[in-house]
Amino acid sequence: MEIGLVLPHSGPHASPSFIRDFAQAAEGCGTDRLWAVDHLVLPQHTDSPYVLGRKPTPVADGWLSENLAPNFELMTTLSWVAGFTNSIGLGSSISVLPLRNPIVNAKQLASLDAFSGGRLVYGVGVGWLKEEATAMGMPWDRRGARSEEHIAVLRTLWCAADRYVEFHGQFYDFAPMDPRPQPAQRPIPILVGGHSDTALDRAVRIGDGWISAPTSAGRLAELIATLNRLADAQGRSPASLYKVASTTYSDARSLSETCDAYRRLGIDHVQVLVPGDEPRLMIDRLPEVATAARG
């Protein structure tokens, strides 16, 4: 099972120097991948509940800003990190597709994958924070269908063999255009996030894998069982889906036990969030985290 770490590019301690030192230390201790999260807007008030737990949870006024600001932008952060690392993988966990134009997105992702030598995995989702899309003037209705077509646009541009390529869909439509630059990977692997049956079905139908938000091993087992059942129903081997789980580090023993449980569930990669109030101590802890996660 591969081990990843969540970049500290979000929250009160986030800074360019901390992100750089953390990323280089992570690569130095043999971590497989660095993950970045996605929030383009942090509204003071939201009526949108957080929906990735067992039941929707209200978000208190100011909570997003107090806990996630400053939030260095996902794609910019990963591109910067790619420039001062050599081999460690890069990933988004997760990018909210309804907030992004698919043509711009395709070019940014292709550029990053080419610049990094094919190190990118693209985790995506349909989002839960309507106020974020409203602030950006992006449509929120039918966001599941829009996101699926967004993925189709990405793959069309990334994998085009001809000099010019066109696309005619329900939400996105463009005349023949040059798709270059194209990524080092054809296509970049796409992992679909979400815990609903609809999200799991989407992962099976059009994803290269599935990515989970932090949850207990018991809840994860239920989600994996549903994912496998949906894969069997659609004639797809469950083993063909790359499965990513997420957890938060508390101590070495707990992390080791959690990762052992994830291995038994067939998880391919676990991303670990390392919390803390002192950046230097968090960085110094990374070898212990990597060792504990690998068992």
Per-residue tens of pLDDT for the chain, all 295 residues: 999 999 999 999 999 999 999 999 999 999 999 999 999 999 999 999 998 888 889 999 999 999 999 999 999 999 999 999 999 999 999 999 999 999 999 999 999 999 999 999 999 999 999 999 999 999 999 999 999 999 999 999 999 999 999 999 999 999 999 999 999 999 999 999 999 999 999 999 999 999 999 998 999 999 999 999 999 999 999 999 999 999 999 999 999 999 999 999 999 999 999 999 899 999 999 999 999 999 8
* Domain of 98, in residue numbers: 2-293
Q: Is 237 helix (H, G, I), strand (E, B) or coil?
A: coil
Tally the domains of the chain: 1
Q: How far is CA 28 from CA 22, 213, 222, 270, in A?
A: 10, 26, 35, 18
Tell me if 216 sits within 8 A of 246, measured CB to CB.
no
State how beta strands 269-273 and 120-125 pair: unpaired
pTM of the predicted protein model? 0.96
Task: Give the pLDDT score at 277.
Answer: 86
First and final CA of the chain: distance in angstroms? 10
Give the Cα separation of 4 and 247 in Å (integer). 10
Q: How far is CA 17 from CA 80, 86, 151, 197, 201, in A?
A: 12, 18, 33, 40, 40
Q: What is the CATH number of the domain that holds 232?
A: 3.20.20.30
Task: Give the pLDDT score at 55.
Answer: 86
State how beta strands 269-273 and 2-6 pair: parallel
Task: Give the pLDDT score at 159.
Answer: 98
Distance of CA 14 to the CA centre of its chain: 18
